[in-house]
Amino acid sequence: MDFPFSAGFKEQVKEFSLKYKCTDCIHFNEPETKCSFEYPINSHHYFYIMDFGHQYEPRFSFCKYFELN
């Protein structure tokens, strides 16, 4: 699931103590720093910039396999 990495999202993370990064997931293999499903973690661990022509927007992607650790 892909969505804007907005100021509102940052506020909700603080307010509700939301967990959303790969390191918070039960499927994250910490010693090997990778997903146990071999899923790429870069787009789920950090926000990225989408180029919409004249406008750039920070985005973030939730993994469909995310389970709270």
Angle, alpha carbons 23-35-13 (nearest 5°): 30
Q: What is the pTM of this model?
A: 0.68
**Mean local confidence (pLDDT), 63-67:** 85
pLDDT tens profile 23-63: 889 999 989 988 999 888 876 666 666 566 667 777 777 78
- pLDDT bucket at 21, cuts 50 / 70 / 90: confident
